[in-house]
Amino acid sequence: MKDVIPIQTNNTETIAVSKNSKNIYQQAIDTFSNFCRARSLFVLHYCTGCGAIELPPAMTSRFDMERLGIQPMVTPRQADILLITGYVSIKTLKRVILTYEQMQGPKYVIGICSCTVNGGMYWQSYATAKVLSEYLPVDMYIAGCMPRPEAVLTGLQQLMKKIEKGEANSWENYFKRYDYYLGNQQHLFGDTWHTPTDILEEARHYHLYGAESTGNNTARLIKYTVEHDLTKLDAPLREKDSMTKRGKK
Protein backbone atom coordinates (compact mmCIF):
# COMPACT_ATOMS: atom_id res chain seq x y z
CA MET A 1 0.00 0.00 0.00
CA LYS A 2 2.43 2.55 -1.20
CA ASP A 3 0.07 5.39 -1.94
CA VAL A 4 -1.56 5.56 1.46
CA ILE A 5 -1.60 8.90 3.17
CA PRO A 6 0.85 9.00 6.05
CA ILE A 7 -0.67 9.21 9.50
CA GLN A 8 -0.79 12.82 10.56
CA THR A 9 -1.23 14.38 13.91
CA ASN A 10 -4.80 14.52 15.02
CA ASN A 11 -6.62 17.70 14.38
CA THR A 12 -7.75 18.42 17.89
CA GLU A 13 -8.86 21.95 17.21
CA THR A 14 -12.56 21.28 17.00
CA ILE A 15 -12.69 19.27 20.16
CA ALA A 16 -10.73 21.85 22.11
CA VAL A 17 -13.10 24.55 21.01
CA SER A 18 -16.14 22.53 21.93
CA LYS A 19 -14.77 21.66 25.38
CA ASN A 20 -13.92 25.21 26.21
CA SER A 21 -17.25 26.39 25.11
CA LYS A 22 -18.99 24.11 27.58
CA ASN A 23 -20.16 25.65 30.74
CA ILE A 24 -19.86 24.05 34.11
CA TYR A 25 -23.31 22.45 33.97
CA GLN A 26 -22.57 20.88 30.65
CA GLN A 27 -19.31 19.54 32.00
CA ALA A 28 -21.08 18.05 34.98
CA ILE A 29 -23.58 16.41 32.68
CA ASP A 30 -20.74 15.05 30.56
CA THR A 31 -19.02 13.54 33.58
CA PHE A 32 -22.23 11.98 34.72
CA SER A 33 -23.08 10.61 31.34
CA ASN A 34 -19.60 9.15 30.94
CA PHE A 35 -20.01 7.50 34.32
CA CYS A 36 -23.28 5.95 33.23
CA ARG A 37 -22.07 5.10 29.76
CA ALA A 38 -19.13 3.11 31.10
CA ARG A 39 -21.48 0.99 33.14
CA SER A 40 -23.84 -0.01 30.41
CA LEU A 41 -22.12 -1.29 27.32
CA PHE A 42 -23.51 -3.43 24.56
CA VAL A 43 -21.15 -5.55 22.56
CA LEU A 44 -22.15 -6.22 19.01
CA HIS A 45 -22.71 -9.92 18.49
CA TYR A 46 -20.50 -10.40 15.48
CA CYS A 47 -17.77 -13.00 15.34
CA THR A 48 -15.24 -12.02 12.75
CA GLY A 49 -12.53 -14.55 13.50
CA CYS A 50 -11.25 -17.25 15.81
CA GLY A 51 -11.09 -15.04 18.89
CA ALA A 52 -14.86 -15.22 18.99
CA ILE A 53 -14.62 -18.67 20.52
CA GLU A 54 -13.50 -17.15 23.81
CA LEU A 55 -16.40 -14.71 23.91
CA PRO A 56 -19.13 -17.19 24.85
CA PRO A 57 -17.26 -18.18 28.02
CA ALA A 58 -16.64 -14.49 28.72
CA MET A 59 -20.30 -13.68 28.23
CA THR A 60 -21.78 -16.61 30.13
CA SER A 61 -21.71 -17.75 33.71
CA ARG A 62 -18.06 -18.67 34.14
CA PHE A 63 -16.53 -15.28 33.49
CA ASP A 64 -19.75 -13.33 33.41
CA MET A 65 -19.30 -10.12 31.52
CA GLU A 66 -22.67 -8.96 32.72
CA ARG A 67 -21.38 -8.14 36.17
CA LEU A 68 -19.48 -5.33 34.48
CA GLY A 69 -22.64 -4.17 32.79
CA ILE A 70 -21.64 -5.55 29.42
CA GLN A 71 -24.02 -7.57 27.32
CA PRO A 72 -24.12 -8.87 23.79
CA MET A 73 -26.37 -6.97 21.43
CA VAL A 74 -27.59 -8.20 18.11
CA THR A 75 -28.11 -5.00 16.16
CA PRO A 76 -25.35 -2.58 15.27
CA ARG A 77 -27.55 0.46 15.84
CA GLN A 78 -27.93 -0.31 19.51
CA ALA A 79 -24.42 -1.55 20.12
CA ASP A 80 -21.59 0.43 21.66
CA ILE A 81 -18.68 -1.88 21.20
CA LEU A 82 -17.51 -3.57 18.03
CA LEU A 83 -15.28 -6.48 18.94
CA ILE A 84 -12.99 -7.47 16.13
CA THR A 85 -12.17 -10.95 17.25
CA GLY A 86 -9.10 -11.77 15.26
CA TYR A 87 -8.35 -11.73 11.60
CA VAL A 88 -10.70 -9.95 9.25
CA SER A 89 -10.82 -11.24 5.73
CA ILE A 90 -11.28 -8.61 3.07
CA LYS A 91 -14.81 -9.82 2.57
CA THR A 92 -15.55 -9.51 6.27
CA LEU A 93 -13.82 -6.16 6.53
CA LYS A 94 -16.37 -4.67 4.17
CA ARG A 95 -19.18 -5.88 6.43
CA VAL A 96 -17.31 -4.67 9.47
CA ILE A 97 -17.06 -1.21 7.99
CA LEU A 98 -20.71 -1.23 6.98
CA THR A 99 -21.59 -2.31 10.49
CA TYR A 100 -19.31 0.19 12.13
CA GLU A 101 -20.76 3.04 10.15
CA GLN A 102 -24.24 2.02 11.21
CA MET A 103 -23.35 2.12 14.87
CA GLN A 104 -24.20 5.33 16.65
CA GLY A 105 -21.59 7.42 18.34
CA PRO A 106 -19.99 7.20 20.75
CA LYS A 107 -18.81 3.81 19.62
CA TYR A 108 -15.74 1.81 20.49
CA VAL A 109 -13.69 -0.74 18.60
CA ILE A 110 -11.68 -3.39 20.36
CA GLY A 111 -9.08 -5.33 18.41
CA ILE A 112 -8.59 -8.79 19.86
CA CYS A 113 -5.80 -11.24 18.98
CA SER A 114 -2.51 -10.75 17.18
CA CYS A 115 -4.13 -10.58 13.78
CA THR A 116 -5.70 -7.17 14.26
CA VAL A 117 -2.33 -5.61 15.04
CA ASN A 118 0.08 -6.90 12.45
CA GLY A 119 -1.53 -9.70 10.52
CA GLY A 120 -0.88 -12.42 13.08
CA MET A 121 -0.71 -16.01 11.88
CA TYR A 122 -2.11 -15.01 8.54
CA TRP A 123 0.44 -12.37 7.68
CA GLN A 124 1.18 -14.14 4.39
CA SER A 125 -2.44 -14.57 3.50
CA TYR A 126 -3.80 -12.80 0.47
CA ALA A 127 -7.27 -12.85 1.99
CA THR A 128 -6.95 -11.03 5.30
CA ALA A 129 -6.40 -7.39 6.23
CA LYS A 130 -3.30 -6.83 8.31
CA VAL A 131 -3.43 -3.63 10.32
CA LEU A 132 -6.96 -2.95 11.48
CA SER A 133 -6.33 0.62 12.58
CA GLU A 134 -5.78 1.62 8.98
CA TYR A 135 -9.44 1.04 8.25
CA LEU A 136 -11.14 1.86 11.54
CA PRO A 137 -10.10 3.80 14.61
CA VAL A 138 -9.37 1.29 17.36
CA ASP A 139 -9.77 2.09 21.05
CA MET A 140 -8.27 -0.92 22.72
CA TYR A 141 -6.16 -3.91 21.83
CA ILE A 142 -6.07 -7.17 23.70
CA ALA A 143 -3.05 -9.36 23.05
CA GLY A 144 -3.22 -13.09 22.66
CA CYS A 145 -3.89 -15.74 20.09
CA MET A 146 -6.53 -15.87 21.24
CA PRO A 147 -6.77 -13.91 24.51
CA ARG A 148 -8.34 -15.80 27.36
CA PRO A 149 -11.68 -14.63 28.74
CA GLU A 150 -9.85 -13.07 31.67
CA ALA A 151 -7.80 -11.00 29.26
CA VAL A 152 -10.94 -10.00 27.38
CA LEU A 153 -12.54 -8.90 30.62
CA THR A 154 -9.45 -6.93 31.59
CA GLY A 155 -9.50 -5.23 28.22
CA LEU A 156 -13.14 -4.33 28.63
CA GLN A 157 -12.47 -2.94 32.10
CA GLN A 158 -9.68 -0.83 30.68
CA LEU A 159 -12.07 0.47 28.09
CA MET A 160 -14.63 1.26 30.77
CA LYS A 161 -12.05 3.29 32.64
CA LYS A 162 -11.18 5.09 29.48
CA ILE A 163 -14.80 5.88 28.75
CA GLU A 164 -15.36 7.10 32.27
CA LYS A 165 -12.43 9.47 31.96
CA GLY A 166 -13.91 10.70 28.70
CA GLU A 167 -10.83 9.61 26.78
CA ALA A 168 -12.35 6.99 24.52
CA ASN A 169 -12.79 9.34 21.61
CA SER A 170 -11.22 7.40 18.80
CA TRP A 171 -14.55 7.18 17.04
CA GLU A 172 -14.38 10.92 16.44
CA ASN A 173 -11.27 10.34 14.38
CA TYR A 174 -13.29 8.40 11.86
CA PHE A 175 -15.20 11.56 11.07
CA LYS A 176 -12.33 13.95 11.49
CA ARG A 177 -9.98 11.92 9.35
CA TYR A 178 -12.46 10.19 7.11
CA ASP A 179 -10.32 10.84 4.07
CA TYR A 180 -7.47 8.78 5.53
CA TYR A 181 -9.65 5.82 6.41
CA LEU A 182 -11.57 5.98 3.16
CA GLY A 183 -8.31 6.05 1.22
CA ASN A 184 -7.11 2.87 2.86
CA GLN A 185 -10.46 1.25 2.29
CA GLN A 186 -10.42 2.27 -1.35
CA HIS A 187 -6.94 0.85 -1.74
CA LEU A 188 -8.23 -2.50 -0.62
CA PHE A 189 -11.70 -2.57 -2.11
CA GLY A 190 -11.20 -0.54 -5.23
CA ASP A 191 -12.04 3.02 -6.18
CA THR A 192 -15.72 2.29 -6.45
CA TRP A 193 -16.01 1.47 -2.77
CA HIS A 194 -18.95 3.21 -1.15
CA THR A 195 -21.21 2.58 1.80
CA PRO A 196 -24.85 3.43 2.44
CA THR A 197 -23.93 5.83 5.22
CA ASP A 198 -23.02 9.41 4.40
CA ILE A 199 -20.12 9.87 6.75
CA LEU A 200 -19.48 13.49 5.80
CA GLU A 201 -23.06 14.41 6.54
CA GLU A 202 -22.81 12.63 9.88
CA ALA A 203 -19.54 14.37 10.61
CA ARG A 204 -21.35 17.68 10.24
CA HIS A 205 -24.10 16.36 12.46
CA TYR A 206 -21.62 15.48 15.22
CA HIS A 207 -19.73 18.78 14.67
CA LEU A 208 -16.68 16.77 13.81
CA TYR A 209 -16.25 17.92 10.26
CA GLY A 210 -12.67 19.09 9.97
CA ALA A 211 -9.88 19.82 7.56
CA GLU A 212 -8.90 16.19 7.23
CA SER A 213 -12.42 14.92 6.77
CA THR A 214 -12.19 15.51 3.05
CA GLY A 215 -9.45 15.11 0.55
CA ASN A 216 -8.59 13.28 -2.64
CA ASN A 217 -10.25 10.09 -1.54
CA THR A 218 -13.55 11.64 -0.57
CA ALA A 219 -13.43 13.58 -3.82
CA ARG A 220 -13.14 10.27 -5.65
CA LEU A 221 -16.10 8.95 -3.70
CA ILE A 222 -18.23 11.99 -4.43
CA LYS A 223 -17.29 11.86 -8.11
CA TYR A 224 -18.38 8.24 -8.22
CA THR A 225 -21.67 8.92 -6.51
CA VAL A 226 -22.43 11.81 -8.83
CA GLU A 227 -21.59 9.76 -11.89
CA HIS A 228 -23.84 6.96 -10.76
CA ASP A 229 -26.59 9.29 -9.70
CA LEU A 230 -26.27 8.37 -6.04
CA THR A 231 -26.00 11.92 -4.82
CA LYS A 232 -28.66 11.28 -2.28
CA LEU A 233 -26.68 9.10 0.00
CA ASP A 234 -29.59 7.22 1.45
CA ALA A 235 -31.18 6.85 -1.93
CA PRO A 236 -32.08 3.15 -1.61
CA LEU A 237 -34.03 3.78 1.55
CA ARG A 238 -35.91 6.68 0.01
CA GLU A 239 -36.69 4.64 -3.05
CA LYS A 240 -38.07 1.96 -0.82
CA ASP A 241 -40.13 4.49 1.15
CA SER A 242 -41.62 5.90 -1.97
CA MET A 243 -42.40 2.42 -3.22
CA THR A 244 -44.25 1.45 -0.08
CA LYS A 245 -46.19 4.68 -0.23
CA ARG A 246 -47.13 3.93 -3.78
CA GLY A 247 -48.14 0.47 -2.72
CA LYS A 248 -50.42 1.89 -0.10
CA LYS A 249 -52.20 4.03 -2.66
Partner 1 sequence: MRAENYQAVTHPESHEFELNFGPNHPGIEGNYALKVRVNGDKIVAAKADGGYLHRGFEKLMEGRLWIQNIALVPRICVPDPVPMEMCYALGVEDLCQFEVPERANWLRVLQLELSRIAAHLFTFGGHAATVGMYSNMFWGIADRDLILDMFEQMTGGRVYHMYTIPGGVRRDVGVEQLDKISDLLDYLEKRLSDYDNLFFNNKIFIQRARDTGILTPKQALSWGVTGPNLRACGLAFDVRRDDAYLCYDQIDFDIATETAGDALARNLVRRKELAQSIYIVRQVIDYLKKDKSTHIRCQIPNPLAWKVPAGETYTRVESSKGELSFYIVSNGGEKPYRVHVRGPSSMHAVQVLEKLVTGGRLEDVAQIMFSLDACPPEVDR
Partner 2 sequence: MSKIKLKVQQEAISHASKGSMLRPFKALAFLGRKPVTEALQARIAADIYRGFHLNDWDKCIGCSTCHTICDNAAIQMVYIPDLPSDLLAGKKPFRPAIDYGRCCWCGLCVDICPTGSLALSKEYIHTCTEDHIDSYFILPDPKGMHKQPFEKGWEKSDQTDLLLHHRQTMQQLPALERIQNFDEIVQGFTDQAAFEEASRCIQCGFCHDACPAQMHAPEYIRAIWEHNFEQAVTQIYRTNPFPNVCGRVCTHRCESACAMQVRGEAIAIRWLKRYAIDKVPHARVKALVSQSEISKPDNNLSVAIIGAGPAGLTAAFDLVQQGHKVKVFEAADKAGGMMRYGIPEYRLPADKLDEDIAIITSMGVEIVCNTIVGKDVSMEDIVTEYDAVLLATGLQQGRSSRIPGSNHKNVYSAIELLAKIKRQEDFIIPHKAVIIGGGNVAMDIARSLARLQQQYYANINIIVTTLETKDAMLADDSEKREALEEGIVLENSRGPLECMVCDDETLEGLKTVACLTVFDKEGRFHPQYDYTDEVIYSADMVVEAIGQNTVLAFLGDTITEQLEWQQGKIKVDNEGHTALEWLWSVGDMVKGSDVIHAIAKGHQVAKSIDTYLQNIKVFS
Partner 3 sequence: MVWDQDKEATKDNYASQTIVLDQILHELDTLNIEQKNNQRFRVDVSAEALPALLSLLKGRAGYTQLSAISCVDWEDEFELVYHLWSYETKVLVSAHIRIQYTPAVYVSVYDIYTPAGFFERDIYEMYGVYFEGSPMMEKFILTEWHGPAPMLKSFDTLKYVNDMFNWQEYQPDWLKEIQAKGGKVVS
Interaction site with partner 3 (CB under 8 A): 1-2, 4, 90-91, 94, 117-119, 123-127, 129-131, 134, 187-190
Count of CB atoms within 10 A of residue 149's CB? 19
Half-sphere exposure of 168 (CA within 13 A, CB side): 26
Site membership for partner 2, residue 245 (CB under 8 A): no
Q: How far is the CB of 101 from partner 2 (least distance, A)?
A: 19
| Closest distance to partner 2 from the beta carbon of 88 (Å) | 14
CA distance 157 to 52: 18
Report the partner that residue 218 touches, choosing among partner 1, partner 2, partner 3, none (CB closer than 5 to 8 A by kind): none
Question: CB-wise, 44 or 132, nearer to partner 3?
Answer: 132
Minimum CB distance to partner 1 smaller for 28 or for 56: 56
Closest CA to 56 of 146, 139, 120: 146
Work out whether 129 is an interface residue with partner 2 (CB under 8 A): no
- Tell me which of 61, 126, 245, 248 binds partner 2, using CB under 8 A: 61
Give me the helices (H) in the chain, please: 13-21, 24-38, 55-59, 90-102, 115-118, 149-164, 170-176, 178-189, 199-205, 216-227, 235-248
Please identify which residue in 147, 184, 194, 220 interacts with partner 2, judged by CB under 8 A.
147
Which lies closer to partner 2 via its Cβ, residue 135 or residue 221? 135
Q: How far apart are CA 51 and CA 121, in angstroms?
A: 13
Angle subtended at Cα 99 by Cα 93 and Cα 102, rounded to the nearest 5 degrees: 145
Cα distance between residue 47 and residue 111, in whole Å: 12
Interaction pattern, residues 163-192, with partner 1; x per rule: CB under 8 A = -----------------------------x
In whole angstroms, how far apart are CA 122 and each of 54, 89, 148?
A: 19, 10, 20
Binding site for partner 1 (CB under 8 A): 44-50, 52-54, 56-57, 60-62, 72, 74, 76, 87, 89, 91-92, 94-95, 98-99, 121-122, 124-128, 145-146, 148, 192, 194-196, 198, 225, 230, 233, 235-236, 240, 243-244, 247
